[in-house]
Amino acid sequence: MDFLDPRRKRSHTIRLITGYVLVSIAIGLATIILVYAAYGYGINTKTGEIIQNGIVFVSSKPTGAELYLNGQDQNATTGRRLVLEAGNYTLTLKKSGYRDWQRQFTLDEHSIARYTYPLLFPVKPRVTNLMAFSSMPPLMTETPDQHWLLVQAPSAGLDSVNFDEFDTTNLTKPSVNLSLPAGLLSGDDKDTASLVALEWSSDNSHLLLRHDFSGSNEFILFDRAHPSDSINLNKQLKTDPSQVALRNKKSNQFYFYDAASQSLTSVSTSQTSLPTPFLKQVLAFKSYGSNTIVYATAKDAPTGKVEVRIWDNGQTYLLDTVQTGDHYLIDTAQYQGTSYFVSGSDTDPNINIYKDPLSYLKNSTIGKAVPTLAINQVGSTNLSFSTKARFIEVENGQQFGVYDFETQQVYQYKLATPPTSPLVWMDGQRLIGDTDGNVFVTDYDSTNQQSLTPTVDMTGGLFSADYNHLLTIQPTSTNVFELVNVDLRAGTDLPKQ
């Protein structure tokens, strides 16, 4: 029998081993090809040469936008991964009913570029009226989760303060009236007094307000969910702070700052008197979390200079020394688990950015951190982190400087038209404001500038959480001011009526 023949058995074994080897080689080659393809390598089918490619991820809101590269239709829509030869490109996104979105970029060999943030605006937004007011509403704000919009109703004074609350998830629902408790506010000049929204707590219910009156001010904690539980912090703690900030975004913890004594105090609503200050000789401050503060102080600083320090869990560290000014541009935030601190003044030539300086300062005998980079922009008076803190922008009128913590790129540009007031972050990638009486939006690097709709809101407006709706105030020819819903959908994305 064949299986008993040693020669046939040996030949069969050789064929099996050869087959296994060839299969292993094929698997190995396929794996290498896939790995190299994943890293962007390709083959020119005409010349046989190996091409070193890059990878581009493209998404958009709304989805389904057509992709064009250097003017050529790619026969693909957003939500795709593109493997492209290294080079310079112009990416254009198009969708019926929407304005084009465009960006120029350079793709390096083996690099990955992500354009997952594009937002397409409608060519002609659909505008519907939500509520009419006899005069400009003095205050409009929304909760951090963008669920609840509060609009202060105009009145003859502050004897009765009422808010209309709108549910941005269903703007067809009638608004709900919310009122501050009678007697909560101080002062006799009700006609000239005003309320300023400072910040919301993380529970989306409590709003810190500043009441300006008679050349003075006081601070109110408004409870949106239970208005009758709102409190006057000045009256409760029997003090008159110059500035109040939420501690760790909690509704029962605060930092009280007194400009006269330049002191900073940590306070809670359970207390009935003011504790001893924990920081003195403070000129300006910004807090992060429950135990970190970056602040400016003239203590121990050279003439004409101010020290910027970090207070961390009871210990202080010298971060920077800047020129004395009227505005100190100091702040801190975290991006992808890394802490960033910013330091500068309106008279200093540079705004310094530091990456995780505490880890260095706590283990250094030098006593001063080294900035990661500096944005050169003299005279800046505004500074802010974007949502989720990927970007930081400094602003001086029409001049902007933006740093991208992810790509480590700096963008500096000048807007053609000055905004009515400083631009604010619309989301994680765009800035919004009012220019020439219209809602103005621009990407972080000044690309894709849009003029959307008329407005008298200097901040441009506020958005629903899905960014399908822009809420802003528009004037009419009859001296009536209307809160409007600007639908940012178009074409087939609009709901059927």
Structurally, the chain folds into a number of domains equal to 3
Residues 48 and 98 in one domain: yes
Which of 358, 382, 414 terminates a domain? The answer is 414
Contact between 392 and 373 under an 8 Å Cβ cutoff? The reply is no
Enter the tokens of residue 44.
Answer: 């020119």
Cis peptide before 118 (omega within 30 of 0): no
Q: Name every residue whose Cβ is closer than 8 Å to that of residue 288 and which is 6 or more positions away in sequence.
A: 294, 332, 333, 334, 339
Evaluate whether 251 touches 203 at the Cβ level (below 8 Å).
Answer: yes
Residues 274 and 268 sit within 8 Å (Cβ to Cβ): no
**Domain annotation covers residue 252:** no
Instruction: Kindly state whether residues 326 and 397 are assigned to the same domain.
Output: yes
CATH number at residue 45: 2.60.40.10
Both 395 and 306 in one domain: the answer is yes
Dihedrals phi, psi of 23, to nearest 5 degrees: -65, -40
Least confident of 226-235, 285-294, 450-459, 476-485: 476-485
pLDDT higher than 70, residue 296: yes
How much of the chain, in percent, has pLDDT values that exceed 70?
Answer: 89
Q: Say what the pLDDT of residue 1 is.
A: 47
Answer yes or no: do 307 and 355 share one domain: yes
Give the tens place of pLDDT for each residue, 324-345.
999 999 999 999 999 999 999 9
CATH assignment of the domain containing 305: 2.130.10.10
- In a domain, residue 83? The reply is yes
Beta strand 462-463 with 450-454: parallel, antiparallel or unpaired? Answer: unpaired
Contact 221, 208 (CB under 8 A): yes
| Average pLDDT along the chain | 90
> Same structural domain for residues 358 and 381?
yes
Compute the distance between CA of residue 3 and CA of residue 9 in angstroms, rounded to an integer.
Answer: 6
Apex 58 CA angle, 55 and 63, nearest 5:
155
305 and 383: one domain?
Answer: yes
Examine residue 361 and state whether it is found in any structural domain, yes or no: yes
**Token pair in block for residue 336:** 């992808």
Question: Whose CA is closest to 208, among 141, 263, 115?
Answer: 141
Q: Is residue 250 part of a domain?
A: no
- Indicate the pLDDT class of residue 33, thresholds 50, 70 and 90: low
Determine the structural domain holding residue 337 and report its residue range. Answer: 282-414
79-135: pLDDT as tens digits: 989 999 999 999 999 999 999 999 999 999 888 999 999 999 999 999 999 999 999
**How remote is the C-alpha of 353 from its chain's centroid?**
17
Residue-level pLDDT at 175: 96
Report the relative pairing of strands 101-107 and 216-223 from DSSP bridges. unpaired
Residues 28 and 101 in one domain: no
Burial of 450 (0-12, 13-18, 19+ CB in 10 A): middle
Same domain, yes or no: 299 and 392 = yes
Q: What are phi and psi of 472, to 5 degrees?
A: -145, 175
Neighbouring C-alpha atoms within 13 Å toward the C-beta of 473 = 22
Find, among 80, 55, 83, 53, the residue nearest to 66 by Cα: 80
306 and 407 housed in the same domain: yes
Dihedrals phi, psi of 489, to nearest 5 degrees: -100, 160
Q: Are 390 and 334 in contact (CB under 8 A)?
A: no
Is residue 215 situated within a structural domain? no
Q: Which two tokens stand for residue 181?
A: 């408790």
- pLDDT at position 364, please? 72
Average pLDDT, integer, range 400-421 = 95
> Would you put residue 321 in left (φ > 0), alpha (ψ -120 to 50) or beta?
beta
pLDDT of residue 360: 87
What is the reported pLDDT for 497? 67
- In which band, very low, low, confident or very high, does the pLDDT at 30 lie, cut at 50, 70 and 90? low
Last residue of a domain, one of 90, 115, 140: 115
Taking the whole predicted model, whether its pTM rises above 0.85 is answered as yes
- DSSP category for residue 477: T
Q: Is 299 among the domain residues?
A: yes
Residues 293 and 391 in one domain: yes
Residue 63 covered by a domain:
yes
Cβ–Cβ < 8 Å for 398, 365: no
| Average pLDDT score over residue span 301-314 | 95
Is there a contact between 160 and 153 (Cβ–Cβ < 8 Å)? Answer: no
The rounded distance, in Å, linking the Cα atoms of 399 and 43 is: 46
Predicted pLDDT of residue 35: 52
Do 26 and 107 share a domain, yes or no?
A: no
* For residue 321, pLDDT beyond 70: yes
Going by the DSSP 8-state scheme, the letter that residue 488 receives in this structure is -
* Top-confidence residue, 392 or 362: 392
Strand segments, DSSP code E, in 99-187 are 101-107, 112-115, 126-133, 140-142, 148-152, 162-167, 176-179
Tokens of 13: 């074994």
| Domain edge (last residue) among 92, 115, 138 | 115
| Beta strands in 259-312, from DSSP E residues, in sequence order | 263-268, 284-288, 292-297, 305-312
3-state secondary structure 248-282: CCCCCEEEEEECCCCEEEEEECCCCCCCCCCECCC
**10 and 92 fall within a common domain:** no
The closest alpha carbon to 344, from 305, 398, 317, 299, belongs to: 305
Query: In terms of residues, how long is the chain?
Result: 497
Q: Please indicate, yes or no, if residue 7 is contained in any of the structural domains.
A: yes
Give, rounded to a whole angstrom, the gap between the first and last alpha carbons of the chain: 83
